[in-house]
Structures are given as C-alpha cells and as structure tokens.
Amino acid sequence: MDNSNATNTLKPADIFSFDFVKNVLRGSGQVMFQNNIWTGLFFIVGIFVGAYMSNQPLVAYGAIVSVIVSTATGYFLPLSKDDGNSGLWGFNGILVGCAFFTFIGNTPFTWTALILCAMLTTWVRTAFNNVLAPYNVNSLTFPFVFMTWIFLFSAREMHNLPGDYLSKPSLIVNLGPFHEMGALEFVKHIFQGVSQVFLINNWITGVLFVIGLLISNKWAGIWALIGSTISLSLAIMFETAETSINDGLYGFSATLTGIAIGMTFFQPNWRSAIWAVLAVVTTVFIQAAMNAFLLPYGIPSLTAPFCIATWLFWLPQFNFDKPSTATKTN
Amino acid sequence: MDNSNATNTLKPADIFSFDFVKNVLRGSGQVMFQNNIWTGLFFIVGIFVGAYMSNQPLVAYGAIVSVIVSTATGYFLPLSKDDGNSGLWGFNGILVGCAFFTFIGNTPFTWTALILCAMLTTWVRTAFNNVLAPYNVNSLTFPFVFMTWIFLFSAREMHNLPGDYLSKPSLIVNLGPFHEMGALEFVKHIFQGVSQVFLINNWITGVLFVIGLLISNKWAGIWALIGSTISLSLAIMFETAETSINDGLYGFSATLTGIAIGMTFFQPNWRSAIWAVLAVVTTVFIQAAMNAFLLPYGIPSLTAPFCIATWLFWLPQFNFDKPSTATKTN
Amino acid sequence: MDNSNATNTLKPADIFSFDFVKNVLRGSGQVMFQNNIWTGLFFIVGIFVGAYMSNQPLVAYGAIVSVIVSTATGYFLPLSKDDGNSGLWGFNGILVGCAFFTFIGNTPFTWTALILCAMLTTWVRTAFNNVLAPYNVNSLTFPFVFMTWIFLFSAREMHNLPGDYLSKPSLIVNLGPFHEMGALEFVKHIFQGVSQVFLINNWITGVLFVIGLLISNKWAGIWALIGSTISLSLAIMFETAETSINDGLYGFSATLTGIAIGMTFFQPNWRSAIWAVLAVVTTVFIQAAMNAFLLPYGIPSLTAPFCIATWLFWLPQFNFDKPSTATKTN
C-alpha cells in the first residue's frame, strides 16, 4: 500500500521552507509526469499567459491557491516524504483550481469549496492508490477528476456554488456543421490541445508547455505533440463536434496518454511506440463516449478519458523491453 | 475473504429460536453500527411511530418482513456464525423494506420483489466484502443501495412494479426559493436528518433513534447529532433545494458518516474528530452531486453518499491513535 | 495475474495454420462457455441464417471479421498460449462484430472502428482479468460490453460513425400496451431469447444455438433453455415493455447467466441449480434496471446484466459441492 511504510513524513513546520516552493513547482510539473521545477514553472507561466489573454485571471489564481493547499495538506498527513518531495501532492490540486473557475462563478463559497476539494485530492490519491496498488498501476489524475466532478455536479444543486459556465444539460448532441481546416490552423490546434491539459485554450500556452516538457525530457515533449496531433487528426476524420475540435478538447487527454504510455510507464522503443499510438487512438473514442455520457448533465469529462485509456493499456502489464521474454513478472 | 473460514455456520433449524429474534434486532441496530438489541428495538419502534404518523404503515411492515428475510437467508448459506450473531445479515435488509414502500406502490409483485431483494443483500454483502477485503474496508450499506437501485430502476420498466412515489425524471434541477429557518425548526430538522437514515421524515423518530444510540454508546449518539447538524448547516449555507433541506434529506448520509468515521472505524480523539468533521462536510457535496446525477432518472441516492464519503476517508488507512508512528501497518 | 507466466505464447506466423481456424471457432463457442469447434461452427451458421433472414448480412460479416481480428491480435501479444488454444481471444471479438452493424451504419470508418474495437477486447480482457484475479472470478463478456459501449456512445458524437439504429434518447419509458401471448409464440420467444446472445432475433437461429450447445454438453443446452424460459416468464409476469419481450431482449443475458452459474462455475447439482435459478431471476431485474439507466442515451445494455448478475452470485465463492464443509477455500 501507498503509505504502509510512511514513517518518514513531512511536518507542518516544513511548509515554511524553500523546499515547499520547490515541491509546489514539482507538483505543477507532475501533471505531465515531470518531476522538474523548471517544467513546473513553465507550466505556471503558461497558465497565467493563457488565463490573462482570455480574460479569466481567476483560473490562474485558483490554480496557485489549490496547488499550494493540496501540497501543504500532505505536510499534515502521515504520508511518505518521498512522495511530497516528488511533487505528487500537487498535480491533482493544481487542476482543481483550473477547473473550478473555468466552470463555476466566483463566490466566497466557491473559494471554500475549492480549498476543500484541493485538500481532498491529496488523501483521495492515497485512497485510490491503495485500491490500485495490487495491480501495479496508480490513480493518475483520477483524484482530481472524481473530486472535481463531485463539486461540479454539486454546483447544479446549490445556489451559492453557481455552475454559470457549465453546458446546458441535453439529450441530443448538436454536432454542428463541419468545415475544412487550414494547415496553420491545424498546427495551432495541436498546441491548443496541449494547453487544454490545464483547461487553457491558447496555442501560446501550448508552446510554453511543450518547451517546459522538452527542458525535462525530449520524449515527453515529443509524445505530447504526437498525442495531440493524432487525436486532432482522428477527431477531424471521424467528424466530431466542430466546437470541441476548435477548442482543443480532443487533445488534452490524448496528450497525457501519449506521455504516459509513450515514455513514462514503458521504455521508449518501437514496440512501446506502437502501443502508445494505439492508446492515443483509443483515448479519442473514450473522449467522445464520455462527452455523450455526460451530455444530460452538461458536465465536462475532465481528464477521465486519459485515465481510462491509460489503465486499459497499462493493466495488462505487458513488457515491451525484452522481446525474448513474454511478460514482466510482477 | 469474508467467508473463507466459515466452517461454523448457522443452520435453517436455528431460525426457530429466540436467538433469531435477537439477531434480527441486532440487524436493526447495525444500520448505525450498534450490535445491541435494545438499540435495534428503539430503531424499530421509531420506524413504526414515523410510518404510522405519516400514514405509511407499509414502510414499517416492509421493514419487519425484509429484516426477517435477510437475516433468515444467512441461516441457509455457508456464512460465518459470528456475522449472524452480530446482526450483520439484517442491516441491509431492513433498509430494503423501508425503501420499497417509500417509492413503489403496493402490489403482490412488489412484495415478491422485496423478498428477493432482501435475500440478495445477504450474499451480495459477502460478494462486496470479498472485493473490499484486501483494502481493510467493508461494503457498509452498499449492498442495500446497489440492490435497491436495481429494483427502483426496474420499477421504471415494469407495469407491475409501479414506481408511483419516485420523482419525475428531469434534466433541470428546480432549486426553488430559499427561506430563513427558525431555531426550533433547525433543531427539529437535525432530528429529521437522523430519522431519514431509515427513510422516515419525523423528528420524534429521530429522537427515538438518538436515544437508541445513546443506550449503546454515547459517542454514537453524539456523532449522529454532529453529522446531522453540520450537514444541515452546510446545506443551508450553500443554499441547496429547500424541499431536500426540509425533508432532512441532507442529514441521513452525514449522520452515518459521522458515526462511521467519528467512533466506529477510528478511536474517538481530537485527531479523528477533525477527520470525521471533514468526512461529514464531504458527504454533503457527494449528496448534492448524486442528487444531480440521478435527476434524469428520478431515483434517490439512498445511503450511497455515506458509503462513498466513508470509503474516501477510510481507504487511506491513516492511524490517528499514536501520533508518534505515521500509519497503521496493514 | 492472467499473463504473469506467459512465457509460452503464440507467434504471428502461427496465424497461417489450420489451428488458427480452430481457435476462431472455439472463440465463437466460448461466447456460451463451450471450448468446442463444432459448437462454434453451429453458432456461426446460426448467425448467418439469422442475419440473412432479417436482411442484415453485415452483422454476420462483421462477426467473422471481428472474431478473426481479435483472435489474431492475441498472436502478437505476450499472452498465454493456453488461452489462445481455448478460444478465449475470440468470444468478446465476435460479439463486437454482431453489435456494430446492429446499431451503427455502414461506412469505411465503421469498419476501422470495428477492427480497433475487436483488437482492444483481447488485451482489455487481460486488463480486466488481472483486476478480478484476486477474487477468483473473471471478466466474462465485459471487455466486449465496455469497449462496444465506448464506440456506441462515440457514435453519438461523430458524423462518420452514424448511430443510425440506436434508440432515440429519452427520459420517459414508453412501456406500451400489454397483450397475452399464445403457447407457440411463447416457445418461439424462448429460442429468440437464446438467439439474442449474438444479437440475432430469430427463433431458428436459437434452435441452431441450442443444438450447438447440446453437442458440447447437455447441461449447457438445458441451462440455456431454463434461463431463457424463466426470464421470459418473469418479463411477462411483471409486464415489462412488450417490444422488448417480443424481440427476446429479456432472454439473452439470462441464458448466459443460466449456463454460467448452472453448469460452468458450479458443479451441476440441486444446490447449484437453486443458486442458478436465483441468478437468472436476478438477471431479469438487472436487465430492466440497465434499460432504464441507459434510456437517456438510447444505448443498449448488451450483456452487462449477465456479467453483473453472474459476479453477484460468483463472488461470494460459495461451494455447493460438499454440503459438509461450508465454503471453498480459496
């Protein structure tokens, strides 16, 4: 279990140190699996650029508050110091902040809920990781997805948590018309797909994110772009809803799947590359399916398609490193 | 696994003994985690008082039939005698009976389905407990929730299982207006929240339930009231649907979470008290979220919010007893 | 784990052998748990008869393509040779093909998606089996259900994957009128229930399927008929939607549950027979419940009711063989 040997923990007093700032930045980087403070910094800069350019500064400030809160929460709990020093308490939290002010209006109650939700992700991660530990997989960003869903669905039932920017619940998908896309537009949309990992719809942010990834690991940057490119192409080929394509909404989960399967949980080689491409392709259909499933609620699927696709390709525990032996012994 | 050493079982012939009556009463008490026949008796008296006062006597008779059926079912199966003698075959069953006649009309088919559903809870509990055993948590009241959902959803598809008292399916929540509440009304609603654990909306029943709890364990009574009070306060603060607040519908899951985390699965102390308060607060949002999720079906969330919240705070397996060591070794 | 000792695998080159054809036929037979090439052949003949008689030949060709693709996929992956030679890579795949052209219109994109979906079932089965291995149960046809749901839901969101034959999403069930049924019609409907295991609505196909089962094992044929008969009777008694009854839609999951619990995972005897009857009865309510749950999407429940019912009766791990000892030691 995740915390069974957690005799070595971080204490509340340790929050007032420069190491805490580093762990917050690592938390930002870990959204795309990079334990790297510079990557984390580029991601935060990208969030601020995108949030201000689209006139939604609260998204950026929500992200800052929630990554600090979720990271700090780990200092109060009996959790492994190693996890804290790898930024693993922050990556779910930072996404909570991005999501809250993208979909919910600004009230004091929204801030209260945001802080609670960010705190929750830290121990819900331990809860989910404990459940998944016997299978040698982890909970990815699902603690963020699950807890944010709770509050977004709650926003439908509470006057003081107004779901102002959620879609209108509906039974019928309006796919809209479908137009051709120019080459320049196509490239911009690839970067928008990457930027939507943090719920930002801005190609410049996407470029900053990719630079941040390349600083940490070339394969991370490459697989982010491969994931976003393949998913965009498939969304166009199968002609999904044009607004979703234009907002990069088919890209972010596929970006994460690409990094997860292409270079994080498997060694990069030709076999794992084929595996990662299949995983990215599958992510697109899971994304479309979840959009349809959540349509009657007007609730977004967040990064759930990434989690589900990655689990489907990770759980078989295939080992593509040594072609001679068939599978990894667990 | 739950039943792996179940060489010592109860036999069908054992049903005709006074011990069977005691196990039925213990089953009633175990709904709120009390292995105590007097607590169970107070709960059943409370159900009858509430059911007759609201002119729904079938709810009480359904509860009696289903707790007898589900308890007796255990005597026919290769299950541990210890479980039977602790009332663990009855607590899911009694809730089935309360739920059936609260939502479904009275036909001979309803009674048939009620008996089948009550029987099912006994071995579905074993099924779910087996799944959860590796994580050192159990299935709580989820066997009741899951099987009752099956039959309530079925009621939408069967003429002879009429879902007469289910809500109308809808996509849009009507939160209604929101009025201030007086102090006396507030206190009454706290007890209504407790009474709704058995789907009864009556503050006198709630008082009887709390007395039943106090007979068994003072902390059980205290945490029931804390859970109901906090959840009512939060529902008012965040301004949820007024009819839900007035019917005590935000209270029952929070009551159960309070007892579960505050004194059942953790030793009562200051650390676990903070943990339990956080769990109760989280229950309110899970309740709101599930109400929104089930809205297109007009199906109630039953005690699912309690189960989910309790699992989220139990699965991390934190140990708040000895502050010196970080976590319980599993 | 399912594949942990998979040092003995089948290689891509092995596809070009007559053994491959046998494994494809075994895959067809394994839909109803029969590792028998003649059973598999009868099933495929039954599919062709039914598909042509209802003017839907694509259903049959889709089935052939998908069973070949999903079986061949196993030859490229580090999976156990024994599984492949028992037809365990084909039974999810063949159902994908039947489902795709029953619900989705014929485009080149549909064929692409069908091939991807068929491939996916092979390793998703390993993924799900790994998750369920600690509980001594397996994933049954759930890999087919889960992956086909992904693509059917996707069909709502993609112009080029047209969900032409899916139901209209709705909040209110139209149960329709209810008419008496003659004895001959009743018998025909029993066989239609069996034929719907492969999404074929044709009593002649049902007769061919039962013959195929009897060739392999008399109990398989008997339990298929018991399952279909009980479920049809219950659907009539509780008066479900008449169109569902007439199309055999209450029969197929119950047929599979009957075979699974009545003779596959338990030794056929009086105790396990009672258990299987209870499981079949439960399947009917799970079927009705899932129909109601999926109503707002117009998506079919496929064989999910069979999977859920079978797990509920399998997970307790009761042992009905030796009445003296209480339970099977795992």
DSSP codes of every residue in C240-259: B-HHHHHTTTTTHHHHHHHH
Q: How far apart are the first and last CA of chain A?
A: 15
Strand partners, C158: A240
pLDDT, one tens digit per residue, over A122-163 is 999 999 999 999 999 999 999 999 999 999 999 999 999 999
Q: Do C173 and B157 touch (CB under 8 A)?
A: yes
Name the average pLDDT for chain B.
Answer: 94
Q: Do A153 and B238 touch (CB under 8 A)?
A: no
Strand partners, B327: B318
Res B6: pLDDT = 57
Kindly tell me the burial class for residue C164, based on how many C-beta atoms sit within 10 Å of its own C-beta (0-12, 13-18, 19 or more): exposed
The Cα B195–Cα B204 span in angstroms is 8
State the sign of the Cα–Cα–Cα–Cα dihedral B22, B27, B29, B30: positive
Average pLDDT over residues A69-96: 97
| Chain B, chain C: beta-carbon pairs less than 8 Å apart | 109
Would you say B148 and B99 are in contact if contact means Cβ atoms under 8 Å apart?
Answer: yes
Where does the pLDDT of residue B179 fall: very low under 50, low under 70, confident under 90, or very high at 90 and above? confident
Name the average pLDDT for chain C.
Answer: 94
Nearest to A213 by CA among A259, A257, A254: A259
Would you say C60 and C202 are in contact if contact means Cβ atoms under 8 Å apart?
Answer: no
Q: In one letter, which amino acid is C245?
A: I
Question: Which CB contacts under 8 angstroms, 24+ apart, belong to B133-140?
Answer: B133/B1, B133/B2, B134/A134, B134/C134, B135/A130, B135/A131, B135/B315, B135/B317, B136/B317, B136/B330, B137/B311, B137/B314, B137/B315, B139/B307, B140/B260, B140/B303, B140/B306, B140/B307, B140/B310, B140/B311
Where does the pLDDT of residue A6 fall: very low under 50, low under 70, confident under 90, or very high at 90 and above? low
pTM: 0.95
Q: Residue C280 CA to chain centroid, in angstroms?
A: 15
Q: Do B290 and A116 touch (CB under 8 A)?
A: no
Res B72: pLDDT = 98
Checking if the pLDDT of C325 tops 90, the result is no
pLDDT, one tens digit per residue, over A226-244 is 999 999 999 999 999 988 8
| Chain A, chain B: beta-carbon pairs less than 8 Å apart | 109
pLDDT, one tens digit per residue, over C206-251 is 999 999 999 999 999 999 999 999 999 999 999 999 888 988 899 9
Q: Do B116 and C282 touch (CB under 8 A)?
A: yes
Where does the pLDDT of residue A328 fall: very low under 50, low under 70, confident under 90, or very high at 90 and above? very low
Where does the pLDDT of residue A216 fall: very low under 50, low under 70, confident under 90, or very high at 90 and above? very high
Q: Which residues of C touch A318 (CB under 8 A)?
A: 3, 77-78, 123
Pick from B135, B173, B282: CB nearest A157: B173
Q: Which phi and psi (to 5°) does residue A240 adopt?
A: -85, -175
Q: Which residue of B has its CA nearest to A131?
A: B135
Res A178: pLDDT = 76
Res B322: pLDDT = 58
pLDDT, one tens digit per residue, over C108-140 is 999 999 999 999 999 999 999 999 999 999 999
The Cα A222–Cα A264 span in angstroms is 12
Q: Do A127 and B316 touch (CB under 8 A)?
A: yes
Res A7: pLDDT = 67
Q: Which residue of B has its CA nearest to A11?
A: B326
Chains near B (3 or more Cβ pairs under 8 Å): A, C
Res B106: pLDDT = 96
Pick from A124, A158, A171: CB nearest B240: A158
The Cα B120–Cα C311 span in angstroms is 13
Checking if the pLDDT of B328 tops 50, the result is no
Q: Which residues of A touch C82 (CB under 8 A)?
A: none
Kindly tell me the burial class for residue C22, based on how many C-beta atoms sit within 10 Å of its own C-beta (0-12, 13-18, 19 or more): middle
The Cα B249–Cα B259 span in angstroms is 17
Res C86: pLDDT = 97
Checking if the pLDDT of B255 tops 80, the result is yes
Q: Which residues of B touch A150 (CB under 8 A)?
A: 282, 285-286, 289
Question: Under DSSP, is residue B75 helix (H, G, I), strand (E, B) or coil?
Answer: helix
Q: Which phi and psi (to 5°) does residue B109 adopt?
A: -70, -35
Task: Choose the mutation target among B9, B89, B154 for the interface with C, i.e. most C CBs under 10 Å.
Answer: B154
Joined tokens for residue A161: 């948590």
Res A322: pLDDT = 58
Res A242: pLDDT = 87
Average pLDDT over residues C56-79: 97
Joined tokens for residue A319: 């080992």
Q: Which residues of B touch A154 (CB under 8 A)?
A: 238, 285, 288-289, 292
DSSP codes of every residue in C212-241: HHHHH-HHHHHHHHHHHHHHHHHHHHTTB-
Cα dist. B149→A313, B41, B304, C172, C232 in Å? 32, 27, 10, 17, 22
ipTM value:
0.94
Nearest to A144 by CA among A302, A313, A309: A302
Joined tokens for residue C181: 């049924």
Q: How far is A16 from chain B (nearest CA, A)?
A: 21
Where does the pLDDT of residue A121 fall: very low under 50, low under 70, confident under 90, or very high at 90 and above? very high
Res C4: pLDDT = 44
Where does the pLDDT of residue C6 fall: very low under 50, low under 70, confident under 90, or very high at 90 and above? low
Name the average pLDDT for chain A.
Answer: 94
The Cα B57–Cα B47 span in angstroms is 9
Where does the pLDDT of residue C173 fall: very low under 50, low under 70, confident under 90, or very high at 90 and above? confident
Kindly list the structural domains of chain C, giving each domain's residue range(s) and its CATH number in brackets, ordered by start.
12-155 (1.10.3430.10), 183-314 (1.10.3430.10)
Res B329: pLDDT = 34
